[in-house]
Amino acid sequence: MYRSHYSKDVTKKDYNKSITVAGWIEDIRNIGSIAFIILRDKRGTLQLTVLKKKNPELFEKLTSLSRESVISVKGICKENEKVRNDYEILPERLEILSVAKAPLPLGVVDKVEADFDTRLDNRFIDLRKQKNQAIFTIRNAVIAAVHKYLQSQDFVEVHTPKITASSSEGGTDVFKLKYFEKEAFLAQSPQLYKQSLMATGLDRVYEIAWYFRAEEHNTRRHLNESTAVDLEMAFINDEEEVMNVLENLVYNMWKKASDCKNELKILVKKISVPELPFARIVYDKVVDKLQDRNSSIEWGQDLGTDDERLLGDIMKEEGAELYFITKYPLESKPFYTMPKGDKYSRGFDLACKGIEIASGSQRIHDVKLLEERMKACDLNPEDFESYLKAFKYGMPPHGGFGFGIERFLMELLDIKNIRECILFPRDRTRLTP
């Protein structure tokens, strides 16, 4: 029996006909001779109305079930403007698919919200909530927009290894693992593989990538396993071409999210699509603006959390919620970032409301310069032999970026904790579920 209709798919054509619905029992209100059962599926909720005198056995079975039990019901669909969706189902046949244990470890529609750890410990129930499902419906929509836009721009989707022989960033924040008789790492990003692909003739590639970073941070905006849109493109003149692709990508994702009317209504969120082009501000001016507001930042330093928030406030005052920071000091960027003179780099970040959501650059394509930069960053070129080989036999000028999906959703939907934006978060203390 199971299901022939979702709650939101029922139309006036179904009135006075027998239909089948299925889902989780969200609530039961038994007032003696009549009972009202709220049934939930992925499209929403509907009401079952059961009369005791009409079918005492069916009445008893339905009203004795626990909340969150799963059932399939066949019955007559009746118009009723006084109930949700303007219709109700009068059950004739019931199939009990799964009985939920009571009490529930977490309520789905309880007015008192459980603490965050309890929610994450019982994520399979937490994800039954309409607001949480709305987040992931929007996430699905914006990722679909990624594929549509980038493939319209002649990008090819690729999938790179997640187990690597060396750290992609050259840093220490890596997860080590035993790979048979060797030591290996979980990939911090697809960076080195994306660049290697620029030597193949696949001029434009992208990946919905996984990042594994063993950072000690345990804040509302850090994860140790996260996802990103990672992109690389060849035969560029400078980083501005990469930034143009990035801002158009963000624009298309934002616009697609704005089409999710039902989900935005559930989240009580209004979205204004940003205008193009996004603002650009050079690093030197960023430091000046921050110091004018009594920040202790010094030239050459990365922006800390407080400085990022302060800059977000400053840029909002100037009418820009999305903005690029460009011309970073070379010493603050990874070894593969193209220098701009001796002091600056062709690296950039994209920030939204004071939170960095993407980072990119024009890359070094000359192998000798790349080896020099590795040594300047205290890295041994011999540890990157496989990576460097791709630069020795014809490598075009190229650049790219990594764009965090969870951070984008945080800022898009004004979500306070990044763990809300990924199904099963992994952080400093959480390895399950």
Q: Which residues are catalytic?
A: 213, 215, 221-222, 356, 359, 407
Q: What residues form DSSP beta bridges with 225?
A: 212
Residue 346: which residues within 8 A CB-CB, separation 6 or more?
238, 239, 327, 337, 338, 339, 340, 361, 362, 399
**Whole-angstrom distance, CA of residue 32 vs CA of residue 60:** 11
As given in the structure block, the two tokens for residue 2 are 């199971």
| 338 three-class SS | coil
| Residue 222 amino acid letter | H
Kindly state the helix (H) or strand (E) to which residue 339 belongs, with its residue range: strand 339-340
Asked whether the CA dihedral 74, 6, 84, 24 is positive or negative, the reply is positive
- Kindly list the distances between the CA atom of residue 307 and the CA atoms of 288, 347, 426, in Å, as whole numbers in the listed order: 12, 19, 26
Nearest 5°: the CA angle 355, 360, 365 is 165
Separation CA 361–CA 191 (nearest Å): 11
d(CA 163, CA 177): 9
CA 71/CA 84 separation, integer angstroms: 19
213-251 as b/e: b if 16+ CB within 10 A: bebeeeeebbbbbbbbbbbbbbebeebeebbebbbbbbb
What sign results for the dihedral spanned by CA atoms 257, 260, 263, 265? positive
**Cα dihedral across residues 127, 215, 140, 270: positive or negative:** positive
β-pair partners for 211:
226
